[in-house]
Amino acid sequence: MDTIDRILILMENHQMKQADLARVAGARSSSVSDWFNRKSSSYTKYLDKIAKHFGVTVDYLMTGKTNTDETPYYINDDAREIAEELAQNPNLHILFDTARGVSAEDLQFVIDMVKRLKQDSE
């Protein structure tokens, strides 16, 4: 995965189009198109603005790594993995949001139903 792949994922998570990214970065739409078609690497001069917009660091955009000297944002690896899945899968995000405020009994019913659906598909 490279910088463009990470930007594409962030755009998808924020339901952004190339024209939206062009506005955020202050670049021409045709330039953004060239970035995603791997015809240009001029995106590097816009990484500060792009990172700021998405709330990530330039280092993250370039390497996919976060600063390990900082206190971890998530309390454990499981929480981080779940948060990443929620961010990358809009349907899981909807399911999670919908489950908030549901009674424990109703939530257990849905969990059991999903487990049965999963078993049927295996």
| Predicted local confidence at residue 69, as pLDDT | 55
> How far is residue 74 CA from its own chain's centroid?
15
Token couple for 54: 């998405």
**Average pLDDT score over residue span 104-113:** 90
Q: What is the pLDDT of residue 75?
A: 65
Nearest to 8 by CA among 54, 59, 49, 57: 54
- Please return the burial class of 18, using the count of CB atoms within 10 Å of its CB with bins 0-12, 13-18 and 19+: middle
**Residues 16/7, Cβ–Cβ less than 8 Å:** no
pTM of the full predicted structure? 0.55
> In this predicted model, what pLDDT tens digit does every residue of 51-103 receive, in sequence order?
989 888 888 888 888 765 555 566 677 877 888 888 778 888 788 888 888 89
- The pLDDT value given to residue 55: 86
pLDDT tens per residue across span 31-49 = 999 999 999 988 999 999 9
pLDDT at 32: 94
